[in-house]
Structure 1
């Protein structure tokens, strides 16, 4: 069995299964207060996708949890997850798929959709690359959240590099049709600006997202390709976006001289 072992457990998130589970269970309690009632109502529609950050949990974990907590009611219905994030270490043409059959975290193994991976690997814009996935954190940090809120699901992990959002949308569209398939896009926002400048940049980025403008650049969001792809498909399908949380590392565990921005969204079917 070919397993990709965790690369950032103990650094980006707790390496202890017990402590990690306790942290996530606390963060993933459903919103109960009146201020979140409109968000809970959105979750009652058909949830189709999430946009979530991928920094260390100390910095962005609760922003991600604001989205993942809405998946609990879908624990029995979501059977497949397409997880898309940017490659931080390697530049390549198209998208990279793993050679592993399972991804491991302190909470156990996640089974990959090896049949779909094999099919996609025959397409020009996809390549199999163990090296590209081995140390990448943008996908790994999402796994403990998914393991906590879902039950039996298969994972299709995709890293993006030099590929256009339009081409990626065309490739993902037929894979993201069934109601039992969730799309998760992993992305932080702006990087290393002073606190107030970052707030301005990130608010403008969110305005583009909320108007379904697929024009984000890597300077606005490191996972801009995945977000732009999602915006193209969401607009085409008439989906609704709901922002759940927006802050930056200066609000959580970092200084305010050079911050990284984080946002989470629900994408739901309004029909």
Structure 2
């Protein structure tokens, strides 16, 4: 089966402008690495004009570290369709840059090792959070001259128990198949403003941006400490509107099982830097988790 793009032409260009944009994001791309220390990464999934550069920092780091065989990409389910923990079963995902093959063997092994995940394509039909990651992956794979595969996982259910189950299932499945993987957690940070119906504090200008950054960095600090339970605690205390905490927590669980001991924030920004509008401000962070 082929999963066709749902947001090409809106979240990112559907024509040659996509390559031009990616070239601009990756103009400082270094040499292809071979260390393979990165176990997981966090990248945003907004329109490329807002978050594309931030997302590219995660993939730049992965390229310079060395590409895995398979990217397991976990994004929040914004549509509500399909299974609450939906692993795409098989086939290809199409973008303007071509097709990416789904690692069907790994997908099935993840579901086998999980008590909550299902093989389900419906949850992915219109979901953008995973799709927008693919051109970045295709770009670095092309630069490396390497064929890679993906396992897309959409989460409609996001909590500690899901993350523990899924992170462990991904780790066990990858070991059973001797598969070299990187887990990508697709998430945006705070969604602030009238368009989101979320105004937890009132401020203007630099004070407003400072407060948003302060709240986001309370979450980011927990991620850098591999403390997914603390991350969820902070989210609940603040009623924080980060959209993909389940994927991030899964990436933390997986990366710790894989031996990761350090995490690094590579880039942070907000949509305000482009839009200059306070009606809707979203935070974006790029993070990687590395083994020694």
Shorter-chain TM-score tier: 0.7 to 0.9
Match of 1:225 in 2: 246
Query: Are residues 156 and 179 of structure 1, via their aligned partners in 2, closer, same or farther at CA, if it must alter by over 3 Å?
Result: closer
Task: State how 1:75-114 maps to structure 2 within 5 Å.
Answer: 77-90=67-80, 94-114=84-104
After TM superposition, the structure 1 stretch with the greater mean CA deviation from structure 2, 232-241 or 51-60, is 232-241
CA contact (8 A) 1:195 1:257 kept: no
* Aligned-partner Cα distance in 1 for 2:179–2:288: 15
Are residue 60 (structure 1) and residue 51 (structure 2) matched? Answer: yes
Quote the RMSD (CA, aligned, Å). Answer: 2.6
CA contact (8 A) 2:88 2:119 kept: yes
CA contact (8 A) 2:88 2:121 kept: yes
* Aligned-partner Cα distance in 2 for 1:133–1:142: 13
Structure 2 gap ranges (5+): 194-207
Are residue 136 (structure 1) and residue 127 (structure 2) matched? Answer: yes
Match of 1:234 in 2: 255
Structure 1 gap ranges (5+): 33-39
Query: Are residues 43 and 251 of structure 1, via their aligned partners in 2, closer, same or farther at CA, if it must alter by over 3 Å?
Result: farther
How far 1:108 sits from its partner (Å)? 0.2
CA contact (8 A) 2:74 2:186 kept: yes
Query: What's the secondary structure of 1:252's corresponding residue?
Result: helix
Query: Are residues 169 and 83 of structure 1, via their aligned partners in 2, closer, same or farther at CA, if it must alter by over 3 Å?
Result: same
Query: What's the secondary structure of 2:277's corresponding residue?
Result: coil
Deviation string 1:214-255 (CA, Å, 9 cap, x unpaired) is 133463521101111222343452421111001111123351
Match of 1:159 in 2: 154
Relative to the length of structure 2, the TM-score reads 0.80
* Aligned-partner Cα distance in 2 for 1:231–1:252: 30
Relative to the length of structure 1, the TM-score reads 0.85
CA contact (8 A) 1:54 1:139 kept: yes
Deviation string 1:22-42 (CA, Å, 9 cap, x unpaired) is 21122113367xxxxxxx9x9
Deviation string 1:11-70 (CA, Å, 9 cap, x unpaired) is 000010x221121122113367xxxxxxx9x99662222110001101100000112112
Match of 1:262 in 2: 284
Corresponding residue pairs, total: 259
CA contact (8 A) 1:91 1:162 kept: no
